[in-house]
Amino acid sequence: MIRKFTKSALLLLLLALAEIATAQDGAAILEKVDANMSSDNRIFESSMTIHTKRGSRTITSKSWSEGNNKSFTEYLSPAAEKGTKMLKLEKQLWIYSPSTDRTIQLSGHMLRQSVMGSDLSYEDMMDDRKLNEIYSSEIKGQEKIGDRNTFVLLLTAKVEDAAYYTQKIWVDAERFVPLKQELYAKSGKLLKRMEMSNVIQVQGRWFPATVIYKDMLKQGDGTEFKITSIKFNQTIPPHLFTKASLKQ
Amino acid sequence: MKIALKLAWRNLTGAGLRTWLNVLVLSFSFVVIIWLKGIMTGWDHQAKTDMTQWEIGGGQYWHESYDPYDPFTLAGSHAKLPSQLENAMKAGDLTGLLLTQGAIFPEGRMMSVVIKGLDPGQSILKLPSRKLGTTASAIPAIIGNMMAKHSKLKAGDYVTLRWRNANGTFDATDVLITDIFSSNVPAVDAGQIYIPLATLQEVMLLPDEISLIVLRDKTDGWNEIPGWKYKSKAELTKQVDEMIKTKSAGQTVLYFILLLLAMLAIFDTQVLSIFRRQKEIGTYVALGYTKQQVVGLFTVEGSMHAVLAALLSAAYGLPFLAWQAKAGWTMPVDTSEFGMAIAQTLYPVYSAGLVIGTVLTVTITTAIVSYLPARKIARMNPTDALRGKLQ
């Protein structure tokens, strides 16, 4: 009887340890992902192609960002958007439109509107905290995406203010960059899907240069976001992250 | 005075067609003014009744942060029902609504909406809240006609509703449209979706919290509740008053033009009468009338146009106005897009004050216009007038 009990207790202990080990592994993987994806600051040029029922259009921009709370974007093309600038400071967002020469501040529900008709909302662009800070992770298995082996991680929010309660993320087992990401509502409904490709190595870190965003509740083929050049940890003049720079 | 009236009647009927044309134009002014003012009163009545029944009840309490014109305030505008109102809530004398922002995705199109949590058992507002009590495979929801038109949703359709809870976490589920209501109040229809209050409180992680309270009737002593702003019915319908005031001001121009036309005709008639009836004026004076009595005679004669016009208006205007009050006036354009509480068909409401006021205004104006040219008589030389000499 005692032996039977001891066996059961040991089994339970082993299972618990395995669970902890899996969680720790998940956290470790997420940490490596954050190390690749996050930086003190970055400067990048990108193109965003929005695919809709009526066709596709491409918007190019140059962005400067510092940590999670500061970013500045200037749109370079097409002509209709050229000169439009966007400044994010903490949880506030300002947009300058050269055609009206006016700056407007977005807040509340306006932040939930899509950016230039894309599948990204302003909020999506604003929330770029490290995954490890927001989610606890659990390895759910391994899968192949194309020819790459990936860990499938289930992320569950550990902070109250996470935008998405759960996420499923496929992390390249070798390079530790996400190759696919699914964002779920608290109810479990799939809201957004991101597919990353064209993984490049920049300054010793791996980074997916192409991301296809798809709002799963909306029609359309999603938005393709391509980084054409990126530099990490550069010197960015502090005045860039001020409202005055919007009109310059 | 009796002779003056008799003479005026004789002269007016003697003038024949000219008199009846004047009377007709004046009577037209009577009917149009009463009808238009009646439409305005009817709109006022309809808008306030509809707003009371559909939106504001007998008054409201708003959470101190709530501002219906600033959607940014919705996120922070909620609190538990104040203890002072708990008994009234139990008695069914008030109902609470929780408001939050969200989006629906009909046919894959995103539409921003205000999600309103409504108690399915409430009976204060005319909203078909009992349709929210129906058990369904999805959360039951009701929307208004205008919203249904814009979203192309029908009763029985499922649509994905997305919102962010109190912590900012996205949540989404399919809701079933259980009913589509028809209301003239855009404030309860456009861009809005109603789901059961308890469900919204649960998914928003805001148990027992509400954004606004709708009262069945105003009860004294409820005014001051910390954290809540009392909005009386008069305050909530102020915009209707202002709109009607603006519209009435615009209509005054029309009344003025109508009256101007009628008064010009009467003025001309008076001038012509005095010019052509100089011998008659001289005869009156020769018979012992003072000049002021002759002026009075002509003024009575001119004013009698208004009296006859009132009688003629009654003859054809009463049946018309009565028919309009019953059948109403259906506006040729779709009013649902106007953004204010206005029915497609407006039923004019005529009060005694409106009719008496209009008759008095027109009669007094006619009397003044009749008097102005008649003043010339006082400056006439009676001898020359008797001889018919032009003066």
Structure ipTM: 0.78
Residue B171 has pLDDT above 80, yes or no: yes
What pLDDT digit, counting tens, does each position of A34-86 carry? 998 888 888 999 999 988 777 888 999 999 988 777 889 999 989 988 999 99
B-interface mutation test, from A104, A190, A217, A219, most B Cβ less than 10 A away: A217
Task: State the average pLDDT over residues B125-142.
Answer: 88
Question: How many Å apart are CA A206 and CA A200, to the nearest integer?
Answer: 6
What pLDDT digit, counting tens, does each position of B301-329 carry? 888 888 888 888 889 989 999 999 898 88
Residues B252 and B203 in one domain: no
* pLDDT more than 70, % of chain A: 85
- The CATH number of the structural domain formed by A2-37+129-232 is 2.50.20.10
> Of A168-172, B6-10, B259-263, which gets the smallest average pLDDT?
B6-10
Contact A49, A226 (CB under 8 A): yes
Task: State the average pLDDT over residues A100-116.
Answer: 76
- Contact between A108 and B74 using a beta-carbon 8 Å cutoff: yes
Residues B80 and B215 in one domain: yes
Task: State the average pLDDT over residues B163-191.
Answer: 91
- Give the residue with greater pLDDT, B389 vs B372: B372
In B, minimum Cα distance to A156 occurs at: B169
Domain boundary among B165, B197, B231: B231
Question: How many Å apart are CA B263 and CA B245, to the nearest integer?
Answer: 26
DSSP summary character for residue A82: T
Residues B214 and B146 in one domain: yes
List, as ranges, residues 180-219 from B with C-beta within 8 Å of A.
203
Instruction: Tell me which residue has tokens 């054809």.
Output: B316
Q: How far does CA B247 lie from the centroid of its chain? A: 9
> Of A116-120, B211-215, B268-272, which gets the smallest average pLDDT?
A116-120
**pLDDT for position B206:** 95
What pLDDT digit, counting tens, does each position of B202-240 carry? 999 999 999 999 998 866 556 688 899 988 888 888 888
Q: Which of A135, A144, A107 is nearest to A123 (CA)?
A: A107
Residue B92 has pLDDT above 70, yes or no: yes
Contact A14, A127 (CB under 8 A): no
Q: Is residue A32 very low, low, confident or very high in pLDDT (cuts 50, 70, 90)?
A: very high
Question: How many Å apart are CA A141 and CA A150, to the nearest integer?
Answer: 9
**pLDDT for position B388:** 67
Residues B99 and B178 in one domain: yes
Residue A210 has pLDDT above 60, yes or no: yes
Residue ranges covered by each domain of chain A: 2-37+129-232, 60-128+234-247
Backbone angles phi, psi at B125, to 5 degrees: -95, 150
B76 touches A: beta carbon within 8 Å: no
Tokens for B200? 């919204």
Number of domains in chain B: 2
Residue A187 has pLDDT above 70, yes or no: yes
- Residue B172 has its nearest CB partner, among A113, A217, A219, at A217
**pLDDT for position A127:** 66
In B, minimum Cα distance to A119 occurs at: B110
Mean pLDDT estimate for chain B = 86
Task: State the average pLDDT over residues B335-363.
Answer: 81
Q: Is residue B299 very low, low, confident or very high in pLDDT (cuts 50, 70, 90)?
A: confident
Rg (CA), chain B: 32
What pLDDT digit, counting tens, does each position of B189-201 carry? 989 999 999 999 9
Type and span of the H or E element at B43: helix B17-51
**pLDDT for position B345:** 84
CB within 8 A of B123, min separation 6: which ones?
A: B92
A108 touches B: beta carbon within 8 Å: yes
Planar angle of CA A86, B100, B229, nearest 5 degrees: 110
**pLDDT for position A126:** 64
Tell me the residue range of the domain where B358 lies: 2-53+239-387
In A, minimum Cα distance to B102 occurs at: A109
Task: State the average pLDDT over residues B362-378.
Answer: 82
- Contact between B72 and A107 using a beta-carbon 8 Å cutoff: yes
Contact B344, B330 (CB under 8 A): yes
Residues B35 and B113 in one domain: no
Residues B324 and B309 in one domain: yes
Q: Is residue A169 very low, low, confident or very high in pLDDT (cuts 50, 70, 90)?
A: very high
Domain boundary among B175, B198, B231: B231
Residues B49 and B65 in one domain: no
Question: How many Å apart are CA B145 and CA B149, to the nearest integer?
Answer: 6
Domain boundary among B170, B197, B231: B231
**pLDDT for position B389:** 67
Tokens for A133? 């800070």
- Contact between A218 and B110 using a beta-carbon 8 Å cutoff: yes
Tokens for B220? 């004294």
Specify the amino acid at residue B182: S
Residue B139 has pLDDT above 50, yes or no: yes
Residues B172 and B319 in one domain: no
Residues B267 and B359 in one domain: yes
Specify the amino acid at residue A43: I
Task: State the average pLDDT over residues B247-276.
Answer: 82
A-interface mutation test, from B65, B67, B171, most A Cβ less than 10 A away: B171
- Contact between A186 and B169 using a beta-carbon 8 Å cutoff: yes
B167 touches A: beta carbon within 8 Å: yes
Question: How many Å apart are CA B75 and CA B66, to the nearest integer?
Answer: 9
**pLDDT for position A21:** 44
DSSP string over B184-244: S-GGGTTTEEEEEHHHHHHHTT-TTEESEEEESS--TT-S--TTEEEE-HHHHTHHHHHHH
A187 touches B: beta carbon within 8 Å: yes
Residue B168 has pLDDT above 60, yes or no: yes
**pLDDT for position B222:** 61
Q: How many CB pairs under 8 A join A and B?
A: 70
Backbone angles phi, psi at B56, to 5 degrees: -105, -15
Contact A226, A220 (CB under 8 A): no
